[in-house]
A and B are shown apart, each in its own frame.
Chain A
Amino acid sequence: MPHTPATRDNSPPMLTLEDVTFRIRERKLLPHTNWTVRRGEQWAILGPNGSGKSTVVRTLAGELPSAAGRIERPPRERISLVSFELQQRLLSSELARDHAREYANQWDTLLTPREMLRAAAAGDYLSEHVRELVSLFSFSRLLDRPVRYLSAGELRKTLILRALCAKPTLLLLDEPFDGLDADSRHTLSSELQVLLDAGQHIMLVTHRADELIPGITHVLTLGENRVKAQGPRDRVAPATLAVGASHRAPAVDGTAHGNSASPRSPVRRGQEESSGEPLVDFRGVTVKYGQTVILSNLHWQVWPGERWGIFGPNGSGKTTILNLITGENLQTYGNPIYLFGRRRGSGESIWDVRRKIGVVTPHLQLQYHREVTGLHAVVSGLHDSIGIYRRPKREELSAAERWISLFGLSPLAERQFTRLSYGERRLFLIARAMVREPELLILDEPCQGLDSGNREHVLSALERVCDQSDVSMLYVTHHADERPSTLTHALYLSGQAGEAVETELDAGSDAASA
């Protein structure tokens, strides 16, 4: 539905940028940017990974200084920024407090959304304003759940709510839909629309043009280190709205995406049953915390060669399943879980289990900020370490180089890992997971935060993985267009007290339509 801007060019400016150059560490970005945001206008910033979107909003929020130019904006305390980074920071600082809790043996002090809102509303906690927000976001049932147990989407809402409690003049939302399932994206989008209708100024940052909510009236698009277009949404040419491949991303050579040439036929149960055993065997798995049931009596097997997609809304237990397998979830011990033919808790160590598994998660990427080359980051996968602590052997380097070259990353292998783009780092981490030739590859949202160009690169790299190895795979995503075509099976979690349904996908068919 086309939206008519409610403002004229003469309404007072809320934000003015004159000849501004942005800066992140020693890198200067978007030189000579001029931009005016007037009252009543609702802006979105679009652009591929690495185009400077987050730098712009972090600068507006006062987190980063600018390198040159003049910025006129509301006072810092009237501008709120909600981002994935903030979410991670909140979570790590909350977990860091466990040290003090453990020391004092005070486990009844876990941070809850209620506490966060109370602090943000500064004494005005039960005001009409806050109560309206809680009801708009249907949040009352979550107020007392410790934030560490919230799903990604619930935590995102908590942060947005907290930001709104302080009645900001401008709310900056950096990729608010990232990591959310389709339903949560839809719900959040309608909730944001209500805020827009009520006159709340929002600035929405996204790399997905399909995430622009109806109430957005103006668009700023970034790319090639400049502002490519700015203006009313219906006047900015649709072509600039298509967020394309980042020109910095490497090309993955070889087989095209979706190529079905010589697909490997996974070993099915029934066939060759005598020759093997399931890699993963859940024989009635239940995970619960107090009265909160995450998984209920889940029976599920993964056989060698199978490639599973695990789908379901936020909080339905997808990551819990992965963590039961890696041993990060401690309830793996209370449950009848068999991994690689052995019951968990029967005398094996978690290191024995983890040796057979490769893992890539957005969390790992955040944690991985060591000064090592891309090549050494891949080698570190052989030792399951972050960073590298002993001189790599020749055969370790050549194993790493093999995967790097398969992904078309060779030109970047000697660069510092932390200086690579977001999408490039993700590809290196997939190579890191594969270098030890695991029996099982676990990918939790491997495309999270990637623009369409980088998404293509990751998906085609995964097809190469499936083409070149017998590795079994568990793949979690919320987006239909992020499913590799090589998936053979799907597990759907309903989110209703741990219900699950599994289906077999036709080999070679487009898994995205399943």
Chain B
Amino acid sequence: MAKMTFGGSEEIVVTRDEFTTEKAREVLKDETIAVLGYGVQGPGQALNMRDNGFNVIIGQREGGKSWQKAVDDGWVPGETLFDVEEAARRGTIIQYLISDAGQKTLWPKVAACLNEGDALYFSHGFSIVYKEQTGVIPPENVDVILVAPKGSGTSVRRNFLDGSGINSSYAVFRDFTGRAEERTLATGIAIGSGYLFKTTFEHEVFSDLTGERGVLMGALAGIMEAQYDVLREHGHSPSEAFNETVEELTQSLIRLVAENGMDWMYANCSTTAQRGALDWKPRFKEVTLPVFKKLYDSVKSGTETEIVLRVNSAADYREKLDAELKEIGDSEMWQAGRAVRSLRPENWNK
């Protein structure tokens, strides 16, 4: 376990060079890891653990599409593939990897299958942090742990096969056995993490919900729309407005930011862009800062999750949602986007 400095702050980071796969295998040698849910995060983590030589079983509702996918992936019904409850009973580390809403619904059944000393594992802090809303309140006699890979299930798998590994955060919510931390780290290494950063359940979920409501989706979509509308109002064509707002960002700039950082972008763009972007950055920050503060408060107080759970369970939820999504899909900006994408050079002969 090493301390690393990030922009002046020290954080605890565990690497697979110090916590090796062999050590993880030693820690988990008597454990059966039950992965509940073969949907999004389940397959990547389960396949990696199996390829690393750990004892893994799958719990999945029988007969569905995901059940068939599990069979195609070499999980054998009755040996390594079970009904959710049966898998939860057999496992000593129970990875609860179904959707947030699904976790709430299924919880009473799963809770009944937990044995003393089991570890209940999450890749998202949602159900535990908002336990008053979700009802996911684990018994006192189990460990409650978290490993959250920073990437989709596909990249968890792809990076493992490359040999490169993925970065994850980890946290312990309750240590009943006294082994919770080493179980967490061992499982984190088993699923193919290269680095593990320490966090808490609360911080994991607060940053996640803030991020997707903010810069990653909500804020991004909002400011894209605002800029597009202004360009259109001034007579720019849809293709020009889209290219300057979205296409250049996604096809070129964001990749440079990924490789070098925004500081590098500032240092290396044209002087015209540089001057203007330096002058306008504080103005955007000034107007958005209060919105982000409000957003964080709304996440922390549970208002956001309360809305999600309430709206999701309304009878006409699907209808209303479809209407909202249709509005975005039919908007001129994203229609223009469809046309612009089809003209990309790599798509000309498809």
The residues of A with any CB-CB pair to B shorter than 8 Å are 98-99, 102-103, 105, 107-108, 119, 289-290, 327, 329-335, 345, 347-350, 352, 384-385
Contacts and interface: CB of A to CB of B under 8 A. Distances in A.
A91 B74 CA distance: 23
A336 to B, nearest CB: 11
A107 B65 contact: yes
Nearest to A327: B51
A331 B68 CA distance: 13
Interface residues of B, number: 28
Given A98-B154, A330-B74, A349 B163 contact: no
Contacts of B69: 107
Contact of A289 (B51, B72, B163): B72
Contacts of A348: 53
A439 B350 CA distance: 43
Top 6 closest pairs, chain A to chain B, by CB: A333-B74, A330-B74, A349-B53, A331-B74, A334-B74, A330-B73
Contacts, number: 57
B40 interface: yes
Contact of B47 (A98, A108, A330, A352): A330
Interface of B: 21, 25, 39-40, 47, 50-55, 65, 68-69, 71-76, 79-80, 152-155, 163, 350
A99 B52 CA distance: 23
A345 B55 CA distance: 8
Contact of A99 (B50, B54, B154): B154
A178 to B, nearest CB: 20
A329 B51 CA distance: 11
A327 B163 CA distance: 14
B76 A99 contact: no
A102 B80 contact: no
A349 B76 contact: no
Contact of A331 (B54, B72, B155): B72
Contacts of A119: 350
Nearest to A324: B74
A505 B74 CA distance: 34
A349 B75 contact: no
Nearest to A352: B53
Nearest to A86: B349
A384 B163 CA distance: 9
A333 B58 CA distance: 13
B55 A347 contact: yes
Contacts of A103: 40, 152, 154
Nearest to B47: A330
Given A99-B154, A119-B350, A385-B163, 13 more contacts: A98-B154, A99-B155, A102-B153, A103-B154, A105-B40, A329-B74, A330-B47, A333-B76, A334-B76, A347-B25, A347-B53, A347-B54, A352-B53
A107 B153 CA distance: 14
A390 to B, nearest CB: 12
